[in-house]
């Protein structure tokens, strides 16, 4: 059976929960999980009328739901809200799992599943016996249509006894489905959870929580898990890292995923708000390419040796995993130089830009029809993307004087590309020593002819700059950066520049950065960072698929996504 999509719905009001169930069905969900732990008090002794009403409302909810459902009353000990008596909770399960629904409401509708924690189930024989009365199992004497999900959750970390818990839950005869959910500490944990689902003897739900667990949710179908969860709205997620229904089905094309689907992703930290999944998944859909592109966060620590060791171990595990079928990655900050280092160490194929710059942003893994690795290639598409952005806007580069702001990976890529194209390059940076070090490295890579075309300059000299073009390769002006309202260029003081100046900002969020706004006010030509982004993404797409990249589609998707985010931010700040 294909992996199902389940939408969790927190029950506070029966009418709203039914409306949300209808919305989930219309949105493409297969079933819903009614989380009743905030609704059901279990206080039968102190308030018997309230307890009866609560039970009746839950029975009515199940009977009138437009989708099959899971009923979950999650204990506070495992991340839920229920703090009542366990026997009262089990009595609820027994009530909703029996034929009394048909008798009372005239509709034979019991939950498809009830979910109970293994930590609760193993407390007493009496409790286990009552749970068994409500669910189907080999020793069941009456006609039961509800199955038992036996679950375990850890919102803090991977349980030390994970394997023991899973074996214990699976060996219980009443268990129809094993569910394990814990906070993932790294992508390794996600891969372990996916393998648990693929290797399980009983239907299994294995999900990681948090940003490192997203992979386990998006690839659940590829690894044959029973289901994955997706919230109806971003505000109604019941676990960290849970995608929305629209994201899962539309952005990540969950229904199209199979065991043969190739996997691509973005490696970096952070990657949550990357545009890359939007453009690449749209490109895969437009060209009928069986692949999915997902976020793959890899953290970096301050100790460079430890950071490289972690990056190296993660990349090799992803590449060599027998079921994942990783075929490529975009690599962003802070790992571009680490990718180049790993490629040299492993003797992978490296393009000229990566060799010269010492940083790469693209990994391509060539595989045969049996998914065996044929070759691994590393490239830097930032460098050609900057040139393509300018040339596509009608600019010529030879004999031009170009001022580049910054001395990081993007600045180094830009300086190398412009120097090769015949431009004179001035690298402005707050640390002159760092800028000079970059210049020295690039001169060595380009040869002696570059010596008079590539120079370093102190940041304080920008107001006296006289360039034909300026390229901002710093985070100044980025909406999530340290200086979101500041222009990278002191344009009002730059009297040495004429009227025919072009400014390209590699920052693409917001679309109109303070730097571009100031340049436009001066009458200068501006090129948005999204242009560079789409050109580098198009180059990656071509390397991975061998297909002509849909550049116009990439540009439209990127701009629409950015505009939606900007509108959402404005609403939140209103």
Residues taking part in catalysis: 336
Distance from C-alpha of 83 to C-alpha of 9, rounded to nearest angstrom? 19
Q: Is 297 left (phi over 0), alpha (psi -120 to 50) or beta?
A: beta
Reduce the DSSP state of residue 243 to 3 states and report it. Answer: coil
Sheet of 262-268, strand order: 291-297, 262-268, 326-331, 362-367, 373-379, 349-350
Report whether 504 contacts 470 (CB < 8 A): yes
Q: Residue 250's closest CA among 282, 220, 222, 272?
A: 282
Report whether 232 contacts 7 (CB < 8 A): yes
**Strand ranges for 384-468 from DSSP E:** 401-405, 424-429, 454-458
Torsion of CA 88, 90, 91, 96, to 10 degrees: 130
Reduce the DSSP state of residue 384 to 3 states and report it. Answer: helix
Reduce the DSSP state of residue 114 to 3 states and report it. Answer: strand
State which H helix or E strand residue 147 sits in: strand 147-154
Task: Enter the DSSP assignment of 459.
Answer: G
Report whether 436 contacts 450 (CB < 8 A): no
């Amino acid at each position: 059976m294909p992996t199902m999509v389940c939408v969790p719905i927190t029950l506070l009001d029966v009418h709203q929960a039914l409306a949300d169930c209808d919305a989930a069905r219309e949105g493409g969900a297969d079933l819903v999980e009614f989380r009743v732990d905030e609704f059901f008090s279990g206080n039968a002794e102190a308030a018997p009328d309230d307890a009866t009403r609560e039970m009746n409302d839950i029975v009515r909810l199940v009977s009138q739901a437009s989708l099959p459902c899971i009923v979950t009353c999650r204990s506070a000990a495992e991340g839920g809200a229920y703090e009542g008596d366990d026997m009262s909770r089990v009595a609820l399960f027994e009530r909703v799992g029996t034929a009394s629904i048909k008798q009372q409401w005239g509709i034979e509708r019991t939950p498809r599943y009830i979910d109970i924690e293994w930590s609760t189930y193993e407390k007493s024989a009496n409790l286990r016996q009552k749970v068994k009365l409500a669910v189907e199992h080999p020793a069941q004497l009456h006609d039961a249509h509800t199955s038992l999900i036996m679950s375990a959750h850890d919102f803090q970390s991977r349980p030390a006894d994970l394997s023991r818990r899973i074996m214990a839950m699976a060996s219980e005869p009443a268990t129809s489905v094993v569910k394990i959910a814990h906070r993932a500490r790294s992508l390794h944990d996600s891969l372990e959870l996916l393998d648990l689902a693929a290797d399980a003897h009983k239907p299994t739900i294995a999900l990681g929580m948090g940003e490192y667990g997203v992979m386990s949710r998006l690839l659940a179908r590829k690894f044959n898990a029973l289901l994955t969860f997706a919230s109806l709205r971003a505000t109604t997620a019941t676990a960290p890292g849970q995608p929305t229904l629209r994201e899962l089905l539309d952005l990540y094309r969950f229904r199209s995923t199979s065991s043969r689907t190739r996997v691509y992703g973005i490696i970096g930290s952070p990657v949550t708000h990357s545009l890359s999944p939007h453009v690449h998944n749209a490109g895969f859909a437009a060209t009928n390419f069986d692949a999915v592109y997902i976020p793959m966060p890899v953290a970096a620590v301050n100790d460079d040796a430890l950071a490289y060791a972690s990056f190296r171990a993660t990349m090799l595990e992803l590449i060599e995993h027998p079921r994942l079928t990783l075929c490529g990655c975009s690599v962003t900050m802070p790992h571009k130089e680490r990718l180049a280092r790993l490629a040299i160490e492993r003797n992978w194929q490296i393009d000229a830009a990566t060799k010269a710059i010492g940083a790469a942003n693209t990994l391509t893994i060539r595989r045969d029809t049996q998914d065996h690795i044929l070759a691994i290639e590393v490239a830097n598409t930032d460098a050609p993307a900057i040139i393509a952005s300018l040339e596509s806007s009608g600019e010529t580069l030879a004999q031009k004087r170009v001022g580049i702001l910054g001395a990081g990976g993007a600045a180094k890529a830009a300086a190398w590309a412009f120097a090769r194209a015949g431009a004179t390059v001035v690298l402005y940076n707050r640390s002159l020593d760092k800028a000079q070090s970059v210049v020295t490295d690039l001169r060595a890579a380009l040869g002696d002819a570059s010596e008079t075309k590539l120079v370093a300059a102190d940041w304080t000299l920008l107001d006296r700059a006289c360039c034909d073009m300026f390229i901002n390769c710093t985070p100044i002006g980025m909406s999530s950066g340290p200086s979101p309202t500041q222009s990278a260029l002191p344009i009002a003081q730059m009297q040495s520049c004429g009227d025919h100046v072009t400014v390209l900002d590699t920052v693409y969020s917001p679309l109109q950065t303070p730097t571009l706004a100031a340049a436009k006010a001066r009458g200068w030509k501006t090129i948005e960072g999204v242009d560079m982004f789409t050109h580098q993404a198009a180059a990656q797409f071509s390397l991975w698929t061998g297909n002509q990249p849909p550049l116009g589609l990439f540009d439209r998707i990127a701009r629409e996504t950015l505009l939606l985010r900007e509108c959402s931010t404005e609403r939140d700040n209103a």
